[in-house]
Amino acid sequence: MTNDLVFLSVFQGIAEFLPISSNGHLVVLEELFGISSSGFNGHVALHFGSLLALLIYFFKDICLMIFGLWVYDIKGLKKHPARRYRDLAWILVFSSLPVILIGFFVKKYFGSTAESFTVIGVASIVCGILLIIADSNPVKDNFPTYKNGLVAGLFQCFALIPGASRSGMCITAARFCGLSRAEAVRFSFLMAIPTILGACTLVAMDAQNINELFASKQLILMGITAGFGILTIQILLWFLKKFSFVSFGVYRIIFGIFLLWFL
């Protein structure tokens, strides 16, 4: 295992959960410094690591959603406090359908979208501005609704553009809908579970040997990414108790200008 792969695993674990576009930064790092993720298997390992971090960190929420579905949709009980999480489970399903369907269509008919510095730079600037504007919106809801899920699901489709940031677009949508900063982050990360799972499944279907995706080297990379991902989620939620998303928006604008002006 090379130092490049370890570095990319650490970077993915951190950047994936910040609204800055981990994929956009990975493209720039690979191009400028010749860092390689070993192609297909490396990229899949990094994203499976991010998925593992989410499953571990939000294990309690996932169990509550499963319990809510069991109480309402299987047992048929109509009066139970678990309904909140049952609704959240369905909201996540519905909000993930647009990006999964559009992502499948794009992958099948167009292959992959252009990952030029110009595209990443423009997307970074536009999304940074939108994040700053959205973060000024007052808090209206403390828990996601079906309307929030629809808006966030549509915004998430723009993450197919290199440099747009999946988490950034979902957080922006959630703040536009009036969710608090912490709840916007939580909702965005929960939305990532079915989305990343769907994306990894589509990519894994193209693997010539599925066992290579879970070789010992790939599992180590997943573990590194997951570990740093969990730490990043915890630090981000602490950060948002005292600060706003404006710093991330400003960084995205500066990063985009750097790509357009200097590269």
Q: How far apart are the first and last CA of the chain?
A: 30
Kindly calculate the radius of gyration of the chain based on its CA atoms and give it in whole angstroms.
18
Res. 252 pLDDT band, cuts 50 70 90: very high
Res. 146 pLDDT band, cuts 50 70 90: very high
Res. 106 pLDDT band, cuts 50 70 90: confident
Residues 98-123, mean pLDDT to the nearest whole number:
78
Q: What angle do CA 240, 98, 120 make, to 5 degrees?
A: 60
Residues 204-217, mean pLDDT to the nearest whole number:
66
The answer, yes or no, to whether residue 38 has pLDDT greater than 80, is: no
Contact 231, 12 (CB under 8 A): no
The answer, yes or no, to whether residue 249 has pLDDT greater than 80, is: yes
Q: Which of 38-47, 110-119, 178-187 has the lowest mean pLDDT?
A: 38-47
Measured between alpha carbons, how far is 183 from 262 in angstroms, rounded to an integer? 37
Averaged pLDDT of the chain: 86
Q: For 118-135, what is each residue's pLDDT tens digit? A: 999 999 999 999 999 999
pLDDT at residue 17, rounded to an integer = 94
Q: For 44-100, what is each residue's pLDDT tens digit? A: 778 889 999 999 999 999 999 998 888 876 666 666 667 888 899 999 999 988 988
Res. 219 pLDDT band, cuts 50 70 90: confident
Domain ranges of the chain: 3-262
Measured between alpha carbons, how far is 32 from 178 in angstroms, rounded to an integer? 39
Residues 2-28, mean pLDDT to the nearest whole number:
87
Res. 240 pLDDT band, cuts 50 70 90: very high
The two structure tokens encoding residue 234: 């915890």
Measured between alpha carbons, how far is 126 from 228 in angstroms, rounded to an integer? 28
Res. 224 pLDDT band, cuts 50 70 90: very high
Q: What percent of the chain has pLDDT over 70?
A: 84
The answer, yes or no, to whether residue 167 has pLDDT greater than 90, is: yes
